[in-house]
């Protein structure tokens, strides 16, 4: 049995830039901040929610299985199951995709699916040699053995590492995510000026969306325990320009690289939820969907070129739906790095790549920049890893509705060499 599945509603917190210390919200705090008002504006009883799924990469010790913790703090019945998914940058979209497949298969009618990430709360970890030293100290027997181990103490053992820094390095290739962006940028001839121009435009578009109220209803304020109100994404720099960005030094491939802090996604905290429902639930409860989820796909490739994941995930959807790039009205392609986005666009235009890798007869075509990330993206918004997949799908649905457009694709690259894509159709 295959049933139509609808994205009924959704909301997110502001994306708050991490500033070198724990921010005001944990992952669950963020999930609750946007979840409560989202559920309050629904006309159906929240006890009808069959399942809660939350994407989260950096789970903190006090919030094991944050989906369950968030579900209970949101006041859902104890009988409502909840689980957390982790597929790096694709976690928020994976939660939606799992909900989509569960409803499509007739195993649920209403699912709360989203992502939450507080990168400012990323755990501190000890170096491996420090862990080994503490293990030896713990296992020492007698004073003499303990003194012998203590003599091997090094000051560096007491200096923890930020877990996020380890997480941004691929364990198979030993390349940082920024280095993978440098690689595919080089392959497809993306210049520093290209990347900086793209980044500046991302900031311009987000600033315009904020000023013109296009995020209203999607973005809900968050209030800290101290009463501070956060009502907007705080990483946007509307005065960004190619000239100003050109002064920044390369971060990953010094001194000649093209990837800088200015043309990369920002490290941020944020959460987003979506409510997915079956056609039966939509009709029974008089729901007014934003969009129908038509299809989704997950692709994989060499981790050293992980930034091309969107190409690998999107191409199968286009082929099996008999769609061309020109048929897609809007695109949300997560901006991990400007070079990565531009490399994906170039790959779709490369006839050899499209024939040999993607299964097309020739070049897939050109994605119109006016249809891509129309209200900015992760370069200006930030990239709370477990949340971004939910955000781009939700915003795609809202942007399509605002513009009266028919169908769109949300897609993202995933650290480790994967990609996810979701095809939405206006409801």
Active site residues: 89, 383, 413
Cα 123 from Cα 156, distance rounded (Å) = 18
Long-range pairs, 252-258, Cβ under 8 A, ≥24:
252/176, 252/178, 252/179, 252/181, 252/182, 253/178, 253/179, 253/182, 257/182, 258/182, 258/185, 258/190, 258/191, 258/192, 258/195, 258/339
Largest CA distance in the chain: 77
Cα 217 from Cα 281, distance rounded (Å) = 22
Query: Collapsing DSSP states into helix, strand and coil, what is residue 124?
Result: strand
Nearest to 88 by CA among 60, 55, 121, 123: 55
Task: Please give the C-alpha separations between residue 213 and each of 42, 107, 207, in angstroms, as whole numbers.
Answer: 22, 38, 10
Nearest to 221 by CA among 371, 403, 25: 25
The CB-side HSE value for 324 (13 A sphere, CA atoms) comes to: 10
Contact 412, 392 (CB under 8 A): yes
Q: Where are the alpha helices (DSSP H) in 21-141?
A: 27-40, 66-73, 91-104, 128-139
Coarse DSSP helix, strand, coil percentages of the chain, rounded to the nearest 5 percent:
40, 20, 35
Cα 196 from Cα 258, distance rounded (Å) = 9
Cα 245 from Cα 336, distance rounded (Å) = 17
Classify residue 181 as exposed, middle or buried by CB count within 10 Å of its CB (0-12, 13-18, 19+). buried
Q: What count of residues does the chain have?
A: 427
């Amino acid at each position: 049995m295959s049933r139509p599945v609808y994205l009924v509603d959704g909301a997110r917190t502001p994306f708050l830039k991490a500033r070198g210390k724990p921010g005001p919200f944990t992952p669950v705090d963020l999930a609750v901040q946007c979840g409560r008002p989202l559920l309050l504006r629904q006309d159906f009883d929240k006890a009808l929610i069959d399942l809660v799924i939350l994407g989260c990469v950096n789970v903190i010790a006090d919030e094991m299985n944050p989906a369950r913790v968030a579900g209970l703090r949101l006041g859902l019945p104890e009988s409502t199951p909840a689980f957390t998914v982790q597929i790096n940058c694709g976690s928020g979209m994976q939660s939606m995709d799992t909900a989509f497949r569960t409803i499509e298969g007739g195993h649920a009618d209403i699912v709360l699916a989203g992502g939450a990430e507080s990168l400012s709360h990323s755990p501190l970890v000890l170096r491996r040699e420090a862990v080994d030293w503490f293990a030896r100290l713990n296992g020492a027997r007698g004073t003499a053995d303990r003194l012998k181990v203590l003599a091997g103490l090094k000051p560096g053992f007491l200096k923890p590492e930020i877990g996020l820094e380890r997480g941004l390095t691929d364990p198979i290739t030993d390349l940082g995510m920024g280095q993978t962006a440098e690689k595919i940028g080089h392959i497809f001839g993306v210049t520093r000026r290209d990347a900086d121009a793209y980044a500046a435009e991302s900031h311009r578009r987000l600033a315009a969306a904020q000023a013109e109220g296009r995020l209203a209803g999607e973005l809900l304020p968050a209030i800290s325990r101290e009463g501070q109100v956060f009502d907007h994404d705080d990483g946007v720099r509307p005065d960004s320009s190619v000239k100003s960005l050109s002064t920044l030094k390369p971060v990953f491939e010094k001194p000649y690289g093209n990837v800088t802090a200015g043309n990369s996604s920002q490290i941020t905290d944020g959460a987003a939820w979506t409510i997915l429902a079956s056609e039966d639930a939509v009709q029974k409860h008089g729901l007014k969907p934003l969009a129908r989820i038509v299809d989704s796909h997950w692709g994989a490739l060499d981790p050293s070129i992980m930034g091309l994941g969107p190409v690998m995930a999107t191409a199968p959807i286009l082929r099996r739906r008999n769609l061309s790039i020109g048929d897609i009205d809007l695109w949300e392609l997560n901006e991990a790095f400007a070079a990565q986005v531009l490399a994906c666009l170039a790959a779709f235009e490369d006839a050899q790549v499209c024939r040999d890798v993607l299964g097309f007869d020739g070049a897939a075509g050109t994605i119109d920049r006016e249809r891509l990330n129309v209200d900015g993206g992760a370069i200006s918004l930030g990239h709370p890893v477990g949340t971004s997949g939910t955000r781009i799908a939700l915003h795609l649905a809202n942007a399509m509705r605002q513009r009266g457009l028919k169908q769109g694709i949300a897609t993202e690259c995933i650290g480790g060499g994967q990609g996810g894509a979701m095809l939405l159709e206006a409801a």
